[in-house]
Amino acid sequence: MPLLIAIILFPFVEIAGFIIVGRAIGLFPTLGLIVLTAVIGAILLRVQGFSVLQRLQTDVRDGGDPGREMVHGAMIVLAGILLLIPGFVTDLIGFLLFIPPFRDFVWRRISRNMVVVSQGSGFFRAGPGPGGPGGPRKPGGKGPTVVDLDAEDFSSGSSDPNSPWAERDRLDDERSDDDRKNDRDR
């Protein structure tokens, strides 16, 4: 219920902020200030967003906990959105979220009630742990053996004529023979 009341009252607080600032510095400087904060917000979002993204990638690559950087990234995106929304209260909150010590303060407050579970990075993993068997690897470390074959070098090794793939392989061979004949005719 208190959140609902805050959501309802927030636009009135923003309007009051416009009126107070408008009376103090005038209409056009107030509008200019709103546009300026939106531009500054977009620039800060770009600069700090890339910085957080790089730290997040480093944490994931090194097998660390990416939770803090994920929350920092979310707060930076929120800060950018708040600065794009016209209003002085949203601008104040947005600028505060761009300050790293303030983000750390917020992180400490919310991390007590938060559990970060990593289930992979969205890429294929060859086994348990980050980076496959044996855990995370540092750049330049020895990884699994990779065999890179061309299509002509690969064979399925299946010689069973009853294999469900045998018919498909035969059709593929016939199709490729037809393609070669068509290419020669051209």
pLDDT confidence of residue 17: 92
Cβ atoms of 67 and 115 closer than 8 Å: no
**Position 179 confidence tier, pLDDT thresholds 50, 70, 90:** low
Residue 177 has pLDDT above 70, yes or no: no
Same-domain check for residues 23 and 107 = yes
**Position 60 confidence tier, pLDDT thresholds 50, 70, 90:** confident
Cβ atoms of 58 and 50 closer than 8 Å: no
pLDDT confidence of residue 23: 94
Structure tokens at 169: 């392989």
Same-domain check for residues 79 and 168 = no
Q: For residue 27, give its domain range.
A: 7-111
Same-domain check for residues 11 and 83 = yes
pLDDT single digits (tens) 93-118: 999 998 989 988 988 888 777 665 65
How high does pLDDT run on average in the chain? 76
Residue 126 lies in a domain: no
pLDDT single digits (tens) 148-160: 767 776 665 556 6
Same-domain check for residues 107 and 156 = no
Same-domain check for residues 15 and 107 = yes
Structure tokens at 107: 């992180």
Q: Tokens 């200030």 identify what position?
A: 33
The residue out of 88, 111, 134 marking a domain boundary is 111
Segment 131-146 shows an average pLDDT of: 58
Residue 128 has pLDDT above 50, yes or no: no
* Longest distance between any two alpha carbons in the chain, whole Å: 89
Residue 64 lies in a domain: yes
Residue 118 lies in a domain: no
Residue 123 has pLDDT above 60, yes or no: no
